[in-house]
């Protein structure tokens, strides 16, 4: 196992952090992509939340002609059933779990950690959360889908069954069609997870209304 932690953008509160949000970016982006949203969330300083935005490793992406870019896994096909490369997802999940463990080792308990992800990053979040031994404060899965959803019935642990999972998607998403996100929601719900589903009039991005809802949700799960 590669013990070297993923490089990250880290944004710390003014006081010693007592909670942490680990936020995973989408295909071709980096940890810098979502870092500017932290002030937009307008979280109260009393929450003392540290944000960590890891950079995915660079790898060749089949659907982009083998071009190398930051990605959590290869995309060999845009088909619904085979879009996410399971081996790549598992490898990235292992790296993110090392990052989670590092926060726990540094004094932030798992139940004060929120795992968040957009698009490809959301796929990793939804792969880790139902399987990991640590109970999170919450899971945030934005404009995303699930890798090999049929595996969940055998892989799911009870640890995060009661952990709030917020899923949100753009109704006009042309990259990850809304039905893919809703299918992941239904699989999680069918396996007994505490998941909510919300759509917004947007494409494959985030909007102000969604950010406001995320802020309220974070304040609720981290209060």
Could you list the active site residues?
119, 173, 204
Look up residue 96 and give its DSSP letter: H
Provide the b/e sequence for 20-54 (b: ≥16 CB within 10 Å). Answer: bbbbbbbbbbbbebbbeebeebebeeebbbbbbbb
- 212 vs 54: CA distance, rounded Å: 23
H or E segment and range at residue 26: none
- The CA distance from 74 to 53, in Å, is 20
Yes or no: say if 136 and 167 are a contact pair by the CB < 8 Å rule: no
169 in helix, strand or coil?
Answer: strand
Task: Return the axis-axis angle of helices 120-128 and 86-105, rounded to nearest 10°.
Answer: 70
Task: Kindly give, in sequence order, each residue whose CB lies less than 8 Å from that of residue 38, ignoring residues fewer than 6 positions away.
Answer: 11, 51
Q: How far apart are CA 96 and CA 92, in angstroms?
A: 6
């Amino acid at each position: 196992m590669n013990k070297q932690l993923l490089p990250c953008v880290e944004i710390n509160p003014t006081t010693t952090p007592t909670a942490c949000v680990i936020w995973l970016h989408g295909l071709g982006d980096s940890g810098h992509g979502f870092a500017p949203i932290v002030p937009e969330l307008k979280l109260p300083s009393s929450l003392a939340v540290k944000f960590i935005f890891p950079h995915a490793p660079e790898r060749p992406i089949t659907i982009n002609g083998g071009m190398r870019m930051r990605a959590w896994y290869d995309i060999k096909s845009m088909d619904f059933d085979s879009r996410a490369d399971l081996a790549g997802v598992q490898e990235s999940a292992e790296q993110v779990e090392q990052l989670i463990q590092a926060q726990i080792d540094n004094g932030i308990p798992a139940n004060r950690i929120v795992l968040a992800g957009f698009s490809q990053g959301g796929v990793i979040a939804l792969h880790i959360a139902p399987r990991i031994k640590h109970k999170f404060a919450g899971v945030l899965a934005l404009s995303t889908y699930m890798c090999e959803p049929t595996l969940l019935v055998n892989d799911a642990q009870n640890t995060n069954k009661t952990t709030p999972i917020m899923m949100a998607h753009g109704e006009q998403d042309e990259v990850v069609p809304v039905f893919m996100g809703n299918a992941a929601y239904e699989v999680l719900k069918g396996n007994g997870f505490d998941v909510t589903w919300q759509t917004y009039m947007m494409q494959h991005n985030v909007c102000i209304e969604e950010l406001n809802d995320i802020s309220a949700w974070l304040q609720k799960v981290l209060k």
